[in-house]
Amino acid sequence: MGRFLLTRVIQSIVTILVISMVVFLMARASGDPVVLLASDKATAQDIALLKQQLGLDQPVPIQYWVFITNAVRGNLGKSLADRGDVAQLIGERLPNSAAIGIPALFLSTVLGMAMGVAAAVKRDTWIDKSMRVVAVLGQSMPAFWVSIMAIFVFSVLLRILPTSGMGSPDHYILPIAVLTFFALPMRMRLMRSSLLEILNTEYVKQARAKGLSETAVVWRHAVRNALSPQLTSFGLTLAFAITGAVLVETVFSWPGLGLLAYQAMLARDYPLIQGTVLLVAVLTIGANLLVDVLYAYVDPRITY
């Protein structure tokens, strides 16, 4: 186990470095932020002075070295738009994203697994077909469109929920519901496909032959061995749940990390873009590392 963890940690560090290089270059490919920051009457000398103040007059390799060495120490730089500390800006928005992301992750996990079990046990019945329709809709409809339709129905037509912003508990309902709707299909389909395969194995047939009830066979024997794919999807969606969805937060004007990243992209705010993407990368890689360790405890057949 120790050698495995050491290997995975080294792989994770290398992956984070590669991601930091890619996002560093992609951010600069979006355009020059000085064009947006400088006034219309700015002279060439003014623009050159502004670039020097922002540290954009240095060669790109030097800029990256400054960024990555500071990031290791927890310093993500200053925002180009308002000169605020990037780490502080992210820290202020992160709890807001987690406030809707974590409940959505919990609901999608519980509902998705329950729906997947029901679809597998009632295979090819109207229950199974209904669950598959929900999964297809959740994976095919754009997030921004579903968010707009939710606002139109529940806020404009029915007038029972607020349209946007963050305040009372009612403001949380629509963003959480939309995020749950998009995270649920993957969990449901994974549970259904895994359970269908396991229900045809010999040890499940033997459990039935011993006279165990179908409920005991499904929940005590089959479901536990179908949890490995769920762990994988949990690792992939944990960072998404914590950092929030860019489109959903933008439509609902939710002051989370997703909206912050969207505003940073519009302003070509290099440090803020780099900081948000790097945080998502660290959370995603860390979650997957945790999932790799949990595999052995969930499924005894897996060894390191």
pLDDT tens digit sequence for 111-166: 888 888 888 888 878 887 888 888 888 778 888 888 888 899 888 888 888 888 78
Same domain, 168 and 133: yes
For the segment 256-277, what is each residue's pLDDT rounded down to a tens digit? 888 888 888 887 878 888 888 8
Tell me if 77 is assigned to some domain. no
Work out the percent of the chain whose per-residue pLDDT is above 70: 83
Tell me if 303 is assigned to some domain. no
Among 41, 72, 103, the domain boundary falls at 72
What integer pLDDT is reported at residue 266 of this predicted model? 81
Neighbours of 176 (CB within 10 A): 21
Same domain, 122 and 13: no
Residue 256 DSSP symbol: S
What integer pLDDT is reported at residue 41 of this predicted model? 67
Among 45, 72, 99, the domain boundary falls at 72
At residue 91's C-alpha, the angle toward residues 89 and 94, to 5°, is 105
Give the number of domains in the chain: 2
Same domain, 167 and 219: yes
Q: What is the mean pLDDT of the chain?
A: 79
Average pLDDT over residues 42-56: 70
* Residue of 1 and 263 predicted with greater confidence: 263
Same domain, 141 and 196: yes
Same domain, 183 and 227: yes
Same domain, 53 and 94: no
| Rounded Cα–Cα distance for residues 167 and 171 (Å) | 6
Q: Which amino acid is at 70?
A: N
Work out the percent of the chain whose per-residue pLDDT is above 90: 0
Same domain, 127 and 275: yes
Tell me if 147 is assigned to some domain. yes
Neighbours of 258 (CB within 10 A): 26
Tell me if 82 is assigned to some domain. no
Residue 212 has pLDDT above 80, yes or no: no
Among 144, 142, 95, 160, residue whose Cα is nearest residue 253 = 144
SS3 24: helix
Query: What pTM does this model have?
Result: 0.77
Tell me if 21 is assigned to some domain. yes
Same domain, 269 and 244: yes
Tell me if 81 is assigned to some domain. no
Same domain, 38 and 92: no
Same domain, 32 and 171: no
End-to-end CA distance of the chain: 6
Instruction: Report the CATH number at residue 294.
Output: 1.10.3720.10
Among 72, 100, 126, the domain boundary falls at 72
The domain in which residue 189 lies consists of 88-298
| Rounded Cα–Cα distance for residues 80 and 170 (Å) | 35
Same domain, 92 and 56: no
| Rounded Cα–Cα distance for residues 169 and 11 (Å) | 41
| Rounded Cα–Cα distance for residues 121 and 104 (Å) | 25
| Rounded Cα–Cα distance for residues 172 and 155 (Å) | 13
Tell me if 104 is assigned to some domain. yes
What integer pLDDT is reported at residue 57 of this predicted model? 72
Q: Which amino acid is at 301?
A: R
| Rounded Cα–Cα distance for residues 26 and 128 (Å) | 43
| Rounded Cα–Cα distance for residues 131 and 115 (Å) | 7
Tell me if 115 is assigned to some domain. yes
Q: How many residues in the chain?
A: 304
Same domain, 48 and 161: no
